[in-house]
Amino acid sequence: MIIRKTRKQKNIKNKNHKNKNQWEDHLTKKAKSENYPARSVYKLEEIQNKFKIIQKNDNVLDLGCAPGSWLLYAAKQTGKKGMVYGIDLKENDIKLPLNIIVIQDNILNLKNSDFLNKDKKFNVVLSDMAPATTGRKDVDTLRSFELCNMALKIADDFLIENGNFICKIFQGNDFNSFQQKVKSRFKICKIFKPESCRKHSKEIYIIGKGKKSKA
């Protein structure tokens, strides 16, 4: 049996799609008008407004920092006496203020070993890293999980006690186990999906506040 959609149903679908695109276009235009390279800045802004992750004078590490919106926003939050360090496989080609240092490298296999050394510590670790998607949900979520584990390992090694952590993850079979890992390391663990995320996206953010003492 063939079920045909009525004209009314088609109009509702088209209207919803149009509204979604208008919202996304609005954020893209807003980001451009505020001198941010991408609309992703508003995800971090929502997280910051709700959870107060970044403080004045903080040292912040941004993993997967290209195209640079999170770098710029974090630098505004820390102020001139804070520092933001970024790393990404892709080159950042935007003009950066003096309190941002960026390298182009692979966080999974660092060639620039001086960028992260035992003497460097951070108040905040941010990870907006995402794998190159294949279209296969199982593969994409597994790759996302691997990047999240790497981000958490870096937080283990370089985040100060009582430091904060933000990590993007694709929802899948490994989500609960990763959430438990974050809970075991931080005094507060929250799950948050910013309104500025694309509605069809499976991404969600895990926020860890107050890194526990290793003792």
Could you tell me the residue ranges of all domains in the chain?
1-33, 38-211
The set of catalytic residues is: 168
Q: Which two tokens stand for residue 197?
A: 């995320």
Convert the pLDDT of each residue in 46-56 to its tens digit: 999 999 999 99
**Which pLDDT does position 17 carry in this prediction?**
47
**% the chain with pLDDT above 70:** 88
Convert the pLDDT of each residue in 143-171 to its tens digit: 889 999 999 999 999 999 999 999 999 88
pTM of the model: 0.86
| CA triple 202-204-206, angle to 5 deg | 155
Query: Domain 38-211 belongs to what topology?
Result: Rossmann fold (3.40.50)
**CB of 124 closer than 8 Å to CB of 77:** no
Over range 175-195, report the average pLDDT: 96
